[in-house]
Amino acid sequence: MSSPPSLPLPNPTETSPLIDPESQIGTSPLQPQEVSKDPLSSGTPSSPSSARATIKFLFWTTINLLGTIGIVFTNKAIFNDPSFTFMQTSFACFHFLCTGLTLWVVSRAWIGVFVPKRAKVVDLLPLAFAMCLNVVLPNVSLAFSTVTVYQLCRVLLTPVTAIINYVFYSATIPRSAIVALIPVCAGVGITTYFDTKPSKGVETTSLIGIGFALAGVCASAVYVVLIGVSHRKLDMSSSQLLLNQAPISSIMLLLAIPLADRIPVLSEVPYQRWLMILMSAGFAIVLNISQFFIVASTGPVSSTIFGHLKTISIVSIGWVVSGRSVADNSLYGIVLTIGGIIIYSYIMLTQSR
C-alpha cells in the first residue's frame, strides 16, 4: 500500500504509499511552501538550541523513516494474503478513518498542533475523490508488484506532475531539469521490464501491477495539482485540508466497498493477519504525528535528502526481500532512476535559491 494519509513535505521523491504526495519542488507553482529553518543547510554557529533542534529533527525523521518502511512492507504482506488482495477499498477507508481521527485529536485546543478550519463539502469533493484514487490505485499496484517496482514507479510522480502543470498552467522547469528526468523514466522502464521476467525463486511484477502503478501515478499527480489549487482557493494549510478531506473520502470509499471489494469470511482470517492490520494503522498514526514535527523544522534541502533516503531504503530492502542478485539487470534501472532524481532535485534546489 502506499503510506497512510499524511501531511505533505516539499520533496520531489517522497513516496507516500498512501496519501498526500508532497508538493513537487519546481513543479507545483500553485502550492505555497512553508519556509522553515533547515537543520541541514543552516550556516549559523552551533548553539544549545540549534543542537536540540537538530536532535529533535533526527529523532522524528528516524521515526518517520521507520514508520514508512514499516507500513509499506506490512501492507505488502497483508495484500499477499489472497483474502485481502481485493480489499483495497476497505483498507484505504480504514486508513482514512485513522488519519481523520489522528488529525481531529491533535487539532483539539488542549493539544493545539494546528487550528481546524471548516470548508464547504462541495468545494472538497474533487480533492476528496482524487485522494481516494491516489490511495486505492497504488495499493492495488502494490498487491501485484514487487516493492522495488512499486516504489520506483512512485518517482514518476515528479515528471507527470511537471507535465500536468505545463499543459494546464504553463508552468515550466529548467531544461537541465527536464534532461535529468529522462534517465528517471528510462530507469523505471528498465527495472519494470526485467522485473516482469519469470525467475525461479524470485518475486516478480505482473502486468496488472504495472497498469495500476501508472494509473496511480497519474491520479497522484492530479491530486498534487488539486492540493495546490485548494491551498490557494480555500486558504487552508495541508493539515486543515486533510482533516476536512479524510471523512469525505472515507464515506466515498464506504459506499464503493460493496461494488469493489471481495470480502473474506472474517471468521477464517487468522489472528496474525488482524494483528498486522492493527500494526498498519499504528504506523499510519505514527507517520501522521511525526510529519507535524518534520514539516515544522525542515527546509527544502533536509526534506529532499530525507525523501531520497526513504526511497533508497525501501528500494534496497525490497530488492533484498525479492531474492534478486546483484547481477540482475534491473539494478541498472534502479541506479538510473535514483541518480536522475537526485540530479533533478539538485537542479531545482539550486534554481530556487
Give percent above pLDDT 70 in the chain.
84
Report whether pLDDT(148) > 50. Answer: yes
> What pLDDT is attached to residue 1?
45
pLDDT for residue 289: 82
Report whether pLDDT(15) > 70: no
Q: Stretch 279-284: mean pLDDT, rounded?
A: 90
Residue 305's pLDDT is: 78
**C-alpha count within 13 angstroms, C-beta hemisphere, residue 328:** 26
What is residue 131's predicted lDDT score, i.e. its pLDDT? 92
Inform me whether the pLDDT recorded for 11 exceeds 80.
no
Kindly tell me if the per-residue pLDDT of 183 is higher than 50: yes
CA-to-CA separations, 142 to 74, 205, 274, 322, in angstroms, rounded: 11, 9, 19, 13
Amino acid letter for position 214:
L
| SS3 at position 146 | coil
Q: Dump the DSSP string for 296-308.
A: HH--HHHHHHHHH
Phi, psi of 209 (to 5 degrees): -60, -40
Specify the higher pLDDT residue, 290 or 295.
290
More confident residue, 7 or 269: 269
Q: What is the pLDDT of residue 204?
A: 87
The rounded distance, in Å, linking the Cα atoms of 205 and 147 is 9
Round the average pLDDT of the chain to a whole number and report it: 83
Least confident of 106-110, 162-166, 183-187, 292-296: 292-296
Which single residue is written with the C-alpha cell 510529519?
A: 291
The pLDDT of residue 47 is 65
Phi and psi torsions of 326, nearest 5°:
-65, -25
Cα angle, residue 203 at apex, residues 86 and 138 outer, rounded to 5°: 40
Percentage of the chain lying above the pLDDT 90 cut: 45
Query: pLDDT digits over 20-73, tens only?
Result: 333 333 333 333 344 455 555 555 555 667 777 778 888 888 999 999 999 999
Using 50, 70 and 90 to split pLDDT, how confident is the model at 215?
very high
